[in-house]
Amino acid sequence: MTQLGNLKTYILTNTDVTEEQYKELEHLTYSLQVKKGSVLLEQEQVCHRSFFVCKGLLRSYTVDEMGKEHIIQFASENWWIADRSSFYFDEPSQLFIDAIEDTEVVYIEKAFLSKLEELSKNYSRFNTLALQKNIRQMQKRINYLLSATAEEKYLDFIESHRLLTLRLPLHMIASYLGITPESLSRVRKQLALKNFKS
């Protein structure tokens, strides 16, 4: 399946748009091959594109005054990624987005969403439910970042992102969890020891 085909399947599955109606959206979708390490969005740029990952892995992150990265999101196959505040409100982005692996994406702009809303009766409901789910996940993540132990954070990450643990370097997982790579290494050793004893 082509990249554009992946997005088409996603839209037809999650909305009431028909095959015939989707033809009106095709000219508003753009495929892109992204090399590992390539930057799709720079901090301070306005984010005009929302990226749908067909194959590969992207991340969004911020960089603090000390040059330390803080990863906000990982996006693997069939996930969207963008700076939503920048995308919807035309504000300078607070995020960088780059490729962790060679990645195939389809990107859309606001015109696609406007047309989709025009064609689909249930898109607004689907979008609202997706937003509510995102808010729920973000609240859970903030709570974990503020109150959970390093071990609890890592165990939750494994449960939520099991397949990603095999694709991500440890320092990126640590950054996402808000702990140091050294702390993550200690947690992994302690868990391995517990499993060995059991």
- Structural domain boundaries of the chain? 3-121
For 38-86, the pLDDT digits (tens) are: 999 999 999 999 999 999 999 999 999 999 999 999 999 999 999 999 9
CATH 2.60.120.10 applies to domain 3-121: yes
CA-CA distance, 103 to 89, in Å (whole number)? 27
Long-range Cβ pairs for the range 158-164 (8 Å, 24+): 161/74, 163/76, 164/57, 164/74, 164/76
CA-CA distance, 113 to 108, in Å (whole number)? 8
Sequence-distant (6+) residues with CB within 8 A of 112 are 25, 28, 29
CA-CA distance, 86 to 91, in Å (whole number)? 4
Tell me which H or E stretch contains 48.
none
pTM over 0.85? The answer is: yes
pLDDT(1) > 80: no
In terms of Cβ atoms closer than 10 Å to its own Cβ (0-12, 13-18, 19+), residue 21 is: middle
For 10-50, the pLDDT digits (tens) are: 999 999 999 999 999 999 999 999 999 999 999 999 999 99
Q: What is the pLDDT of residue 70?
A: 96
Q: What is the pLDDT of residue 110?
A: 96
pLDDT(197) > 70: no
Sequence-distant (6+) residues with CB within 8 A of 93 are 41, 42, 43, 44, 45, 46, 47, 83, 86
CA-CA distance, 113 to 82, in Å (whole number)? 14
